[in-house]
Structure 1
């Protein structure tokens, strides 16, 4: 998500053949993020991550989506520690324990997929206190939102599920509530990477559009150890927390199907994570 979208009046429903076309782009994004997760090491720069992402996407016959955003020329966003979203790749060198969020988009035949992950550089053994719990809490909230994206439900149910999950995670850990980045949300996706409506990460007034079979969105909570307030740096893109607390960003592109959510940017379509939560997955057999 690049800016607060605000528009909530329309949620496109696509025929099955269009959702299948989006799945092709989603797999490219999933494979690219998997390759990045496997390869990133201490000493890499954020520009190195961008270069590998571009190579992975183009090797699969796809094209990066993010250069379509006016003014942005990179393949991915790489946000480190207090940079919670929209980090611009460059010379910053990564060290063990850095918390790195990578947002990636790709298109195939004009259809887009969009996903984000957060990793600890050097592995879990180098994580700072609380960072793994923050990743887990944000990931659980993402899947709670995905589980709510089913035909007949309403779009704002997604944000309520995300926020409720984060509140439950904080309570279980006996800590203060996590910060949910204010003013940023998910979005519709299809022929354009960013379409209306916006997909909130918090409970909001009203119910929002009815979710129909074939509706497609990107759900993406952005969560911090502390504040819910961020500001944009002088590069015009990178959003950092105002209190310097570290943040996490995770995202998936999801289609609503009569059988359940189909996660287009998960290699297994979401079967494992949804199954673990007792939620039917709409991925084809």
Structure 2
């Protein structure tokens, strides 16, 4: 069942989502060769709690950390580790915040130092997939319109589109209805209506779309060991134009300062 939000509830989700964006911006300033996922996770938790909120991921179905940190061939849900990031790596950082009873959720894939042209293209294409998906997240459209927009653009680059993992509704719970796949047919799926808040999150692989699930119960990586990128926004459905509740602006401003 889809839970429709009031204008007041959407503002609370916006507040949580913007704190997620600020947390990712805080982390962006630390991402360089030699940093560990554990150090990023520790700082994110401190930052979130310093603002009076709680990490939404920590304890969710037993997940033990505040961030999902997924470098290189990890698609999503990676555990922060003591392994140092290296020049040329990419790293998806997914963050959730619970504040005033509502969740914010966003993810960004960062370059660690200078990366190859192929990896940069993967990041650029995945972020553009997200932009195109968000563009279709308007009242009167259907979930399949978002899904098709993501799929249609990624397919032009012969990238693999992960099918086992999807975006989702966001509100009082981290994962609500409806599911938002990154592949599908235009005009299919649940109708998008005002009051819906969703997380759109393309997960795009440089090679095969096939993934493997790790024995830790969380980590997902590409089957062929090639890189994967992941970007995510929390979005409110409106007439005419989607309203992004999270932002990349502060993150990218911080990246420029590195």
TM-score under structure 2 length normalisation: 0.93
1:58 to 46, 49, 69: 49
* Runs of 4+ deviating beyond 2 Å: 10-13
Deviation at residue 128 of structure 1 after TM alignment: 2.1
Secondary structure, counterpart of 1:130 in structure 2: helix
Q: What residue in structure 2 maps to residue 196 of structure 1?
A: 177
Establish whether residue 159 from structure 1 lines up as the match of residue 138 from structure 2: no
Alpha-carbon spacing, 1:62–1:181, altered in 2? closer, same or farther (3 Å): same
2:14 to 4, 19, 23: 23
Verify the 8 A CA contact 2:30 2:40 in the aligned structure 1.
no
Structure 2: gaps of 5 or more residues: 251-258
The whole-number CA distance in structure 2 between the counterparts of 1:260 and 1:204 is 21
Secondary structure, counterpart of 1:67 in structure 2: coil
Structure 1: gaps of 5 or more residues: 1-9, 171-176, 270-285
Verify the 8 A CA contact 1:84 1:247 in the aligned structure 2.
yes
Q: What residue in structure 1 maps to residue 253 of structure 2?
A: none
The whole-number CA distance in structure 1 between the counterparts of 2:45 and 2:27 is 11
TM-score under structure 1 length normalisation: 0.84
**Superposition pairs of residues 249-260 of structure 1, within 5 angstroms:** 249-260=230-241
Secondary structure, counterpart of 2:65 in structure 1: coil
Alpha-carbon spacing, 1:201–1:150, altered in 2? closer, same or farther (3 Å): same
Secondary structure, counterpart of 2:29 in structure 1: helix
Q: What residue in structure 2 maps to residue 121 of structure 1?
A: 112
Verify the 8 A CA contact 1:29 1:265 in the aligned structure 2.
yes
Deviation at residue 259 of structure 1 after TM alignment: 4.9
Alpha-carbon spacing, 1:127–1:268, altered in 2? closer, same or farther (3 Å): closer
Aligned residues: 250
